[in-house]
Amino acid sequence: MNRSFSDLLSKAIAGEAAAVEEILEMFAPLIDRHSSIYGYIDEDCRQYILMRVITGISKFVI
């Protein structure tokens, strides 16, 4: 794992909102791609994915 990402993830696990936001920005294209239906982003699906990512961050162990 890239050291800077590892540090960022550690901060996100510790509850730093800025670190969580930065991770979400990094993965925004992937999240948008998986929440689009017929070329349009389904906002409910996008929000669901974002919630799952945010709650899942706390389950990581470094």
* Per-residue confidence band for 61, with pLDDT thresholds at 50, 70 and 90: confident
What DSSP state is assigned to residue 1? -
What is the full DSSP assignment across 8-49?
A: HHHHHHTT-HHHHHHHHHHTHHHHHHHTEETTEE-HHHHHHH
Tens digits of residue pLDDT in 4-53: 999 999 999 999 999 999 999 999 999 999 999 999 999 999 999 999 99
Cβ neighbours for 54, distance < 8 A, ≥ 6 positions apart: 20, 24
Tens digits of residue pLDDT in 25-39: 999 999 999 999 999
Q: Is the pLDDT score of 62 beyond 80?
A: no
